[in-house]
A and B are shown apart, each in its own frame.
Chain A
Amino acid sequence: MKAIFKILGKLIGLVLVLFVATFALYMTNGENKLIYYVVRPLLNKHYDSQSRNRQI
């Protein structure tokens, strides 16, 4: 019984931590800021340096 409560406690703790982390990311609009200011500029630099086969 004690072990079950322990596992249950850990599960609730994990869910709580996941909720706090994802909710913080959601409210701060973190993923969009990261993509807009970091990921996309790097990707665009790569896309601009590509040489494409433009013969059809």
Chain B
Amino acid sequence: MNLNFEKPLNMAIGAIDKKLERFDPLWQSEHGTGGLRSRYYDKTGIAKYREWRGCRDTMVDYVAWLKNLGMMGMMVAKDPVRMMKGFWEYRWMGSFLGSFAFVDRLFEGYRDRELQVSALHSNTIVRTLCGLIGTIIGNDRRLGGGPDSDNLVGLDETIPTLFFAGFPTLKPEPMQTLPEFVICDVDQHIEPYYIDVAESYGLPADVCSRCAAETGVTFDDAFPIFGKMVISTNQPCNASEATSMFQRRRFHREGLLDYPFAFAMQHNEALGNKYSAQELRNCIAEIEKVYNVKFDWTAFFEAARRVNEQNMIEMEKWEILATPYSPLCGISETLYKLVEWAIANGRIDYFNDTDRKVIEIMRKSVKDKYEPFQGKTRHRAFLWGPSAVYYTDFPTWTQNCWGLNIVLNMDSTMGHNIINTEDPEQALIDLAKFSEKGVMRHHAVGGWDNVNAVWDWAKKLNCDMVLVNDNVSCKGMNGVHAMLEEQARDLGFYFCFVPHDLEDCRTISRQDMRKAISSYMNVVLGEEPLDPTLVEFDDSEAW
């Protein structure tokens, strides 16, 4: 007897979906009865209920949520007392409680294959961050230390950790990632607190609110303490130098050594590349000396092979991104790539599993000519934006409100060269190049060619629009405003600056950023929003 339940199941699901379609915000916006913003309490960013996406997609999102809940629960269950101490000690730990709302808003309005891809990505990101929090809090000497307290190496958040694979007994842990780098995406109100701490200390306002926030974390004594040394860097730009000096004083007070690891700023130059490779050699020698360990090339090559596979897949993804059939896009793409590059960096093998699953979905989408977002995309944009597209759900909003699909963000083009896995000397040169083109750096520093590359990327990805995030404080990019505008006109791209103040939502609010896009879409292009509830709303009290 051959029982086939698929047909009756599909009929039942179809009947339920039809019955409940009036609760689906996409249906509501099409029929003028509401939209994606209708289910929120005013200002708070807290939804009255979760998004109804139809039976199948709601279950996909529910399962992804359940997995995230399980991973967070496991993280706490492994060492509940220590974790409670962490929440009690650090203000930024409290902000991590906003992670569920954070994931929700990232993938609002996603359906079908774009939702499947984002579920895979969100589970991988949450798993990685839970591991990071568990390790750091579990070995924080401020909270009593742990079994790995002496085997951890603190390093600046923007140093790629791939070369640490050569020290299999050591664990590289980025110092600023938890108190500042990642958490500013989860909670927009956490970094203004630390910025105020820095400025109330008597410092003038920093040109970069990211650096100001890190300095505030330093003054507030809010860095976890672990390891024997901290590796600082001049990445992503020279703006971070003062921050490093303040942090150095704090770490010295806690008995930690520090080592400055300086990459070449002119990273397109062969000589700069050689200089960075020598810096890598020096840094490896210093770690060997402080931790009394030896660099293991076999272990390093193994991790480099994983990174090479990730980059091969990444380049295939870019080919598919150039078509209208990619269910991978927007924040699902850029946030995952950021975590894969900046935290995992070949040392965590499950990223390769996720990459293989995602590329399969993408290949199938090309074969089936699957258009994401029900084919509602009107424009394709390349985004010149800093890490995680501050603010994070911005690409989700541009698609949902205006049908503006942010195909790729500049950060996703970070170091993607293949690393030699046989010759140590060549591997160091390749690794230097890989590291120089790092987070917030590839297209931001090192000369005009790197900035100018946005047009090549936009063309290669078949984009008709370029968006440039304009940090109102950063003098680095202010200088190229007029040139970019001129070039956009000459090359025939739609072009818009999106003002922001990186981590200080009080200067430029999320609504101010949205307004810049809405004005452009409405006034310049004469278009109407897909979902009018998203054009103007107040989320000033949201995480």
Contact = CB atoms under 8 A, between A and B. Distances in A.
B100 A44 contact: no
Contact of B218 (A33, A37, A43, A56): A56
A52 interface: yes
Interface string B513-543: 0000000000000000000000000000001
A36 to B, nearest CB: 5
A46 B84 CA distance: 13
B246 A56 contact: yes
A28 B100 CA distance: 13
A26 B65 contact: yes
B46 A56 contact: no
A40 B42 CA distance: 18
A32 B218 contact: no
A4 to B, nearest CB: 23
Contacts of A40: 94, 97-98
Interface string A4-42: 000000000000000000110011110111011101100
B222 interface: yes
Given A29-B50, A40-B94, A56 B101 contact: no
B499 to A, nearest CB: 28
B62 interface: yes
A31 B250 CA distance: 37
The CB with the most chain A CB atoms within 10 A, among B50, B104, B246, B543, is that of B50
Contacts of A31: 69, 100
B44 interface: yes
A54 interface: yes
Contacts of A35: 97-98, 100-101
Q: For chain B, what secondary structure do more than half of its interface residues adopt (helix, strand, loop), or is it mixed?
A: helix
B220 A56 contact: no
B220 A52 contact: yes
B5 interface: no
A54 B221 contact: yes
A37 to B, nearest CB: 8
A53 B47 CA distance: 38
B249 interface: yes
B219 A36 contact: no
Interface residues of A, number: 23
Contacts, number: 63
B66 A22 contact: yes
Contacts of A26: 50, 62, 65-66
Interface residues of B, number: 31
B221 A29 contact: no
A3 B201 CA distance: 70
Contacts of B44: 36
B48 interface: yes
A14 to B, nearest CB: 15
B221 A47 contact: no
A54 B219 contact: yes
A39 B197 CA distance: 24
Contacts of A37: 46
Contacts of A44: 94
Contact of A43 (B94, B197, B249): B94
Contacts of A22: 62, 66, 69
B87 interface: yes
A28 B66 contact: no
Given A26-B65, A40-B97, A47-B94, A56 B253 contact: yes
Contacts of A53: 221
Nearest to B47: A29
B253 A29 contact: no
B47 A32 contact: yes
B49 interface: yes
Contacts of B543: 36
Interface in B473-519: none
Given A22-B66, A56-B219, A28 B49 contact: yes
B428 to A, nearest CB: 35
A39 B88 contact: no
B89 to A, nearest CB: 8
Interface in B64-89: 65-66, 69, 87-88
A39 B97 contact: yes
B91 interface: yes
A29 B48 CA distance: 7
Nearest to A42: B94
Contacts of B100: 31-32, 35
Contacts of A29: 46-50, 104
Nearest to A22: B66
Interface in B18-57: 44, 46-50
Nearest to A55: B253
A46 B87 CA distance: 10
16 contacts: A22-B62, A22-B66, A22-B69, A26-B50, A29-B46, A29-B49, A32-B100, A35-B101, A36-B543, A40-B97, A44-B94, A46-B88, A50-B91, A52-B220, A54-B220, A56-B250
Interface of A: 22-23, 26-29, 31-33, 35-37, 39-40, 43-44, 46-47, 50, 52-54, 56
Given A47-B91, A56-B246, 16 more contacts: A22-B62, A27-B50, A29-B46, A29-B48, A29-B104, A31-B69, A32-B47, A32-B100, A35-B97, A35-B100, A35-B101, A40-B97, A43-B87, A46-B88, A52-B220, A56-B218
7 closest Cβ pairs, A-B complex: A43-B94, A47-B91, A56-B249, A53-B221, A35-B97, A32-B101, A29-B47
